[in-house]
A and B are shown apart, each in its own frame.
Chain A
Amino acid sequence: MANVKFDNITVSYGNHTVLKNFSLEVESGRIVCLVGPSGCGKTTLVRALLGLNKPETGVITVGDRCLFDAKKRVNVPAEKRNIGIVFQDYAVWPHMTVLENVCYPLKKQRRPKDEIQKRAMHALEQVHMTEYAKHLPNQLSGGQQQRVAIARALVVDSDVLVMDEPITNLDAKLREEMLLEIRMIQKRLNATILYITHDQQSALQLCDKMAIMQQDGTLCQYGTDEEIILHPANRFTFEFIGVSNFIPIEKGPAGAVLKCGGASPIPYDGEVPQEALGGGYELGVRPNDIVFDPSSPIQAHVTSRVFLGSEYNYFLNIGEKQVRVQQSMLDARTRGVAKEGETVGIRFLNTRFYPAKKGEQTV
Chain B
Amino acid sequence: MKRYDGASAELAAVDGRKRLNMDKVMTAVCFVLLLIIVVIPIVMIIYNAFFNEGRLELGTFVDQIKEEKNLSAMWNTLKIAIGATILGTIMGVFYAWLLGRSDIPAKGLMRALFNIPYMFPPFLGAMAWDMMFNGRSGYINKFLRTLFGLKTMPININSVWGIIFVEVSYYFPFVFMQVVSALERMDPTLEESARIAGAKQRQVIWKITLPLVKPAISAGALLILTTSLAHFGVPAILGYARGIYTLPTRIYAVIYNSGGSFDGIRQGAALSVMLVVVVSLALILQNRILSAGSYDIIKGKSMRPTLIKLRGAKVPLLILAILTLVLIVIVPLVMIVLISFLKAYGLPLSFENFTLDQYRTVFASNGTIDSIKNSLFASITAGVVCMFLGTLVAYVVQKIRPKGKGALEVISMLPYAIPGTVLSIGVILAWSGRIFGINLYNTIWIILVAYLARYLSFSMKTSSAALLQVHSSLEEAARVCGASHTESLADITLPLIRPAMVSGFFLIFLPAMREVTTSILLYGPYTRTLGVQIYSLRDAGMIPQAAALATVAIGIIIVLNTIVTKLTKDRKGV
Contacts and interface: CB of A to CB of B under 8 A. Distances in A.
A108 B487 contact: yes
A137 B4 CA distance: 25
Contact of A75 (B17, B479, B482, B484): B17
B14 interface: yes
A95 interface: yes
Contacts of A54: 10, 13-14
Given A77-B15, A165-B1, A196-B1, A52 B479 contact: yes
A38 B2 contact: yes
Given A78-B480, A108-B482, A136-B572, A95 B17 contact: no
Nearest to A97: B573
Contacts of A137: 573
Nearest to B469: A94
Nearest to B488: A79
B7 interface: yes
Given A53-B14, A105-B482, A108-B483, A91 B477 contact: yes
A198 B492 CA distance: 30
Contact of A93 (B2, B10, B13, B474): B474
B14 A43 contact: no
B1 A52 contact: no
Contact of B4 (A13, A42, A87): A13
Interface residues of B, number: 32
Interface in B1-24: 1-4, 6-7, 10-11, 13-15, 17
Interface string A143-166: 000000100100010000000110
A87 B477 contact: yes
A156 B480 CA distance: 11
Contact of A94 (B4, B7, B476, B496): B496
A104 B477 CA distance: 10
A138 interface: yes
B537 interface: no
Contacts of B201: none
Contacts of A78: 11, 14, 476, 479-480
A39 B4 CA distance: 10
B438 interface: no
Contact of A43 (B1, B15, B474): B1
Nearest to A51: B14
A295 B80 CA distance: 93
Contacts of A165: 1
Contacts of A152: 477, 481
Interface string B475-516: 011111111100100011001100000000000000000000
Interface string B148-186: 000000000000000000000000000000000000000
B481 A105 contact: yes
B574 A79 contact: no
A81 interface: yes
A43 B13 contact: no
A89 B1 CA distance: 10
14 contacts: A38-B1, A50-B476, A50-B480, A52-B476, A54-B10, A75-B17, A77-B14, A79-B479, A79-B482, A79-B483, A79-B487, A138-B573, A165-B1, A198-B1
Given A52-B14, A136-B573, A137-B573, 7 more contacts: A13-B6, A52-B10, A78-B476, A85-B480, A91-B474, A94-B573, A108-B481
Interface of B: 1-4, 6-7, 10-11, 13-15, 17, 471, 473-474, 476-484, 487, 491-492, 495-496, 572-574
